[in-house]
Each structure stands twice: as structure tokens, then as C-alpha cells.
Chains A and B, each alone.
Chain A
Amino acid sequence: MLKIENLRVKLADEDKLILDGVSLEVPKGQVHAIMGPNGSGKSTLAYVLSGRDGYQVTDGHILWNGEDLLALEPDERAAKGVFLAFQYPMEIPGVATMTFLRTAVNSVRKQRGAKEFTTPEFLKRARAEAARLNMADDMLKRPLNVGFSGGEKKRMEILQMAMLEPSLCVMDETDSGLDIDAVRVVSEGVNRLRSKDRAMLIITHYQRLLNYIVPDRVHVMAAGKIQKSGGKELALELEKSGYAEFQSRAA
């Protein structure tokens, strides 16, 4: 279970709090959505969960299966099962996708005490997973994300997620910039990964994605706080009423 308690976060070089007392619990086997307007702190939460530099936690805790995540380096968190699907996946010229994936998967497996994959084993799995996401084999040979369309980049994130077998998936605006077909493919990829051993946190601005990935709980975030939580119907309400209510409440 993911347990966030009274989390307060600011940028390392500014005073203003971006997260101002976030508390949240995501039990294993559940999918929770965080919705909110731009600037509400959603992406910051994703970054702080994954351990990006530049943020300062002034108060609160993040516990993952009882372990203090904030004490760990980003790569150690990944080994513990944390995965962040980036809103804007990086382009890495010069590193073949396959090389990157194999390095990541074997690094994580090693840290988890699992046997590293041999190259043929790895290739087989990667190709099978790519096929499920309608990705051409050729993409695995190209430099990571270089020249990929928005949809291809997001599929690549889901491919990585599948290959790394995380237990906590954080998806930051995974639907942004996707056409409806791409949303469907990506969502199917995510739904395949739903399991009783896995917790998922889906960060999104729009309700659309939640038609495909139906959440167990929906949380509304504004001004650095969870303003309201509810069932999946909360997403539909938000679609009608917008975020104005929460923004004014926050102000």
C-alpha cells in the first residue's frame, strides 16, 4: 500500500509550497486517479514519488509497503517497484531503445535479486510486449524516443512499465497529446497490468482517460491539497462542473 501523509513540498530554491499537506492511501490492487487543474501540484506529486531532484520535502512522509520512499534514490525506488510514466518522455539520441530497456530491466532485476535476462530471453519478451502495444519491432532498434510521435512515446512508456514489472505505477498525464485510438491502445496496455499486487496512481487533467481505465477512487487536487475524494462517478461530475469550485475554495 502507498501511504502519503501530510506531504508538504516546495521547490528547493523557492519558498512557496507546491504541495501543502497531501494525504492519500492507495492500497495494492487498486487504481486511483488524481484529477486537477493545471498548477495544482499533480505532476509535482509524481516527481516527488519518483525522487526527482530540485524539490524539498518540508513535512510529511511517503511510505510504500511500510518503507520510507523519501530516503531512497530514484533508482532504488525503481528497484522497490516504483514506476513513473512521464508526461514528456525524454528523447535520448545515441542510445538504442533495446539497449536502454535491457540495461534498465536487468538493473532492476539484479537489485530485486532476480536473475538477469539473457539477450535472447530479453528480446523475446520485449518483442512480445511491443506487439501487444502495436509497436513495430523497428522502434526497438531506433534511439529511444527520437523522432517518435506523441503516441509512440507514450506507448514506449507503457512498454517500459510492462517490462520493469513495477508494483506502484504512477502515470503522469499519460493521455495528453494522444488521439482517441492511441488512448485506447495505451489504456489497454495499462489495464493488462492491473493486478491484485499492483497499485496505480493515474494523474490526469481530463476525465476521458478514465473511460478506458476505470479507477477505484478519484481524488481532486487543487492548490496543493486533495480537495475531495470519491468513486469513479466523481470524474464525471468534474467533467460537467469543472475545477472552478475547488480553485475558488482553495483561494
Chain B
Amino acid sequence: MTVAIARTKAEQAFTQNFEAAAAKLPGGPAVAAARRAAIGAFAALGLPHRRLEAWKYTDLRSALKDAPPAAVGALAWPLPTPAQLEAALEDLAALDAHRLVFVDGVYAPALSAPATLAGLRFVPLAERLAKAEGAFGAGLAPAAEEDAVVALNTAFMSDGAVIEIARGAELAKPVLLLFIRTAGEARLITTRNLLSVGANARLSLIEAHLGLPGAAAGQSNALSELAIAEAAQVTHVKVTLAGEAESHLATSRLRLAAGARYRAFQFTASTGLVRNGVALTFAGEGAKADVSGCFLGRGSEHIDTTLVIDHALAGCESRELFKGVLADRARGVFQGKVIVRPDAQKTDGKQMAQVLMLSEDAEFDSKPELEINADDVVCGHGSTSAEIDEDLLFYFRARGIAAEDARALLIESFIGEAIDKVDEALRPALMAVARRRLAQLSS
């Protein structure tokens, strides 16, 4: 017996938009077949909804009312000027980084640094797909049949960065992947980054998802896969800012080999609906990961951080610290799952999510989960949501600081604890970006 499932308008639109875009999406026949299989899988799965545990607080089936046409192929609109890029990057513009720019989901060599940084090999994903015999990526992402958001990414991916860092390489500069939305009409922008970092190499990666003023709100689906080899060290900062999209669905998949170090920081502010999903697997012993972040929400923004940290092997350490500030009717979601498998003795895992509520109408849903199957482990988690501490506020005021300034400093100090996790070189820029958003929150 076949059960007919009623599909929402958005679900139907994704399928129809795929048919319209399929011929223009990059890749040979093998890729085209994989895309078609993925959209088929999506049609069967539908959008994730609240009855799925991982999407309990972010029901895409009800949140996404429609799906805009996919941004495909060559750029149909003028490239942004360098000045526009600098303005969109705000304080991050001053950062001396090796820039790779993607405009509406398509690599823009004219705005990017030449691909000559010792130790780094870069190919745009579209180019890789054109040559691919079928396999793309290290296979870290779950199969399309299991995850509707990944299925949509496979079906629609237009471009992205394929980066290999050579064994032992230490890059002279951070790599900045800048994804900028410019289209005046709503578009679905789908990108995928595939990174492999060789043994003992060091990489500082910044991924920025921004919008130009005047760009139409659309949707984005961004997937990054990082395979980090033995004893390599990677920092990965993802900045997602206003104007980027009405919905931004991001998936990060990571695999750490023995002794690898990974430090991630996610800064998300003033955008529509955001889902930052991170799945990290310790695939070697003695590796360490820190996945932290800061989110600032106002209006009816919705910011979801969902982590799955999988301690598959012994002696690994994981740390997560997320700090959020929520104003108006904004909603924050934090789901942190730590899995400790039977072989993962001597695991050390700690997780904390803290939110400052600036409004009674704001909402924070937190769901930490520990799944421990080994006996010699140290794991902890916690979650708090609080208003501004009146005693602290009084202390500031008693020192002559006006209430408004005191409040701003207190909020800054609250998120500062998380931002302190970022490399010193990037910290002031990120704090400045945050400060600008905080001023909007309290006004």
C-alpha cells in the first residue's frame, strides 16, 4: 500500500525548482545522477519537523513557507565592488587573510586572492564536480536519504571551496571564505566546502556568510566537511550576519584523527532563521575539540545550534561554550549531544550554554544530552538563562556609569567570555561586530 504524504508548498517548490535548475547545475553525468537521487530522497523525507528529535525546536516544515528559485551557473548580476565587500565585512575587512569570495553561491576569481599560498591547494567545487566521477567529498556527510537538509545541499550545490592543506604546512595567513548574497531577488544559495588538512598542518579558517544591503532575503544551505589528519591544528570561525538570508541552514561535519586539535567558533547575529548543525567525530585517540559560539537575536529571529560530539575513541577532550543574547521575541535553541562510545575511556567532555534574556517574550530552549557508554569518563553539561544581574548593574552605576552604558558593558562582558575563545588576532574585530549588533538589541 502506498501512503500519500501531503507535501507543503515549500517542499513542492524545492522539487519543482530542482527540475528548473538541474540542467544548469555543475557536474558531469555521475554528479547529475547523485543530485537526482538526492532530490528523490528529499521528496521522500520532506522538510525536517518537530517530531524529529534533532529538529524538535526548529520545525522547518512550518517555518519555511516557500522555496525561492536556485541560484545557478554564471553570475547574472554585477559583481559587488571591493568597497561593497569591505562594508559588508565590517571590522573583519581589515583582517589580513587569503580571501576566496563566492557571490550568490558562485566563485568570483576577480574578487579573490590568487590561489598561490604555500601549502594550500584550492579548487572551486564547481570545477571539481565537472571532473568528478561520482564521489565528492570525504563522505563525512550523512547520505542524502538520512538527512533532508544534506539531501537539498547535494541536489542544489552550486559551488564552494575544495581545499587541501599539505602535510606539515603552516599557512602564512588565515583563509577567509566569504559567501556574499547580492541578488535583488530571493534565491536559494547552496554551497559546499570540502577541506582536508594534512598531518601536522595548521590552518586558520574563517567562513563569513553576509549580505549586501539591498540583497533580497532568500534561503541558504551551506555544508562544510573537514577531515583533519593526525596532529593537525585547525581553527574555524563561522560568522553569519544580518541580511544573509531569511533562512540559513548550515551543516558542519568533522572528523579528527589522533592528536588533532580543532577549535570552532560560531558567531551568529541578526539574521532570520539560522540552524548551525555541527557533527564532530573523534576518529583517533588524544584529539581535542572546542566548539563554541555566540548568538545575538532580536525581532522574531530564530537561532538554532545543534551539536553532536561523538567520542568514538579513547582519551579525547571536547569543550563547548555557547552564549546568547535574546531580545524582543527572538528564540534561541541549543541542543548539545555528547556520545561516549564503549571504547572512549578517559573521555573529557564539558558543555555549557548560557543565555541572557533582554525581554520577557524571548525564548530559549536548551537540550543537553549525554549518552555515555564507557565508565572512566569525565563529562558535564549545564545551561542557564538569566536576565541582567541587577546587583552588577548597581555596582557599575555606583561607579558613575549610566544605566544604559552599564547594561551594554554587562552584555559585552557576558558574551566576551565566549569571544575570548577566538584567536587574539580576530577577537577585537569580532567584538566590534558584536558591539554594533548589541547596540541594535538595546535600542
Contacts and interface: CB of A to CB of B under 8 A. Distances in A.
B402 interface: yes
Given A53-B394, A90-B391, A78 B399 contact: yes
Of A90, A108, A143, A164, the most chain B CB neighbours within 10 A belong to A90
B399 A90 contact: no
Interface in B376-434: 390-392, 394-403, 405-406, 409-410, 412-417, 420
Nearest to B394: A52
Contacts of B392: 90, 92
5 contacts: A77-B398, A78-B400, A92-B392, A94-B414, A107-B400
Interface string B254-292: 000000000000000000000000000000000000000
Contacts of B399: 75, 78, 100, 104, 107-108, 160, 164
A78 B414 contact: no
B412 A104 contact: no
Nearest to A52: B394
A103 B409 contact: yes
Nearest to A86: B395
Contacts of A79: 400
Given A75-B398, A90-B392, A95-B409, 4 more contacts: A84-B398, A92-B413, A94-B412, A94-B415
B403 A73 contact: yes
A242 interface: no
B403 A75 contact: yes
A111 B412 contact: no
Interface residues of B, number: 24
Given A53-B390, A90-B395, A95-B416, A164 B409 contact: no
B391 A94 contact: no
A29 B401 CA distance: 26
A51 interface: yes
A232 B352 CA distance: 53
A53 B393 CA distance: 10
B13 to A, nearest CB: 44
A107 B402 contact: yes
Contact of B405 (A73, A90, A107): A107
A50 interface: yes
B129 to A, nearest CB: 45
B414 A50 contact: no
Given A94-B413, A94-B414, A94-B417, A75 B390 contact: no
B345 to A, nearest CB: 32
A177 interface: no
Closest 9 CB pairs of A and B: A94-B413, A78-B400, A94-B416, A108-B400, A74-B397, A104-B399, A95-B413, A90-B395, A75-B397
B394 A93 contact: no
Classify chain A: how many residues form its interface, as a range: 20 to 34
Contacts of B405: 103, 107
Nearest to B399: A104
Of A50, A52, A74, A143, the most chain B CB neighbours within 10 A belong to A74
B390 A78 contact: no
Contacts of A143: 413
B12 to A, nearest CB: 48
A103 B410 CA distance: 12
A74 B399 CA distance: 8
Interface string A168-198: 0000000000000000000000000000000
B401 A107 contact: yes
Given A78-B398, A90-B395, A94-B416, A100 B409 contact: yes
A93 B416 CA distance: 8
Contacts of A99: 409
A73 B399 CA distance: 11
Interface of B: 390-392, 394-403, 405-406, 409-410, 412-417, 420
Contacts of B416: 93-95
Contacts of A100: 396, 399, 409
A89 B395 CA distance: 8
Of B405, B410, B413, the most chain A CB neighbours within 10 A belong to B413
Contacts of B415: 94
Nearest to A78: B400
Nearest to A85: B398
Contacts of B420: 94
Of A51, A73, A94, A99, the most chain B CB neighbours within 10 A belong to A94
Nearest to A145: B395
A92 B417 CA distance: 11
Contacts of A89: 395
Contacts of A107: 399-402, 405
Of B392, B395, B414, the most chain A CB neighbours within 10 A belong to B395
A74 to B, nearest CB: 4
A53 B395 CA distance: 11
A95 to B, nearest CB: 4
Contacts of A95: 409-410, 412-413, 416
Interface in A91-121: 92-95, 99-100, 103-105, 107-108, 111
B412 A74 contact: no
Nearest to B404: A75
A17 to B, nearest CB: 22
A164 B401 CA distance: 11
A90 B410 CA distance: 12
B262 to A, nearest CB: 24
B400 A111 contact: yes
Nearest to A112: B400
Contacts of B414: 94
A29 B262 CA distance: 61
Given A92-B413, A94-B413, A103 B401 contact: yes
A78 to B, nearest CB: 3
A141 B410 CA distance: 17
Nearest to A89: B395
Nearest to B413: A94
Given A75-B403, A90-B391, A95-B409, A50 B398 contact: yes
A75 B395 contact: no
Contacts of A77: 398
A74 B390 CA distance: 13
Of B400, B401, B412, B415, the most chain A CB neighbours within 10 A belong to B400
A86 B395 CA distance: 9
A51 B398 contact: yes
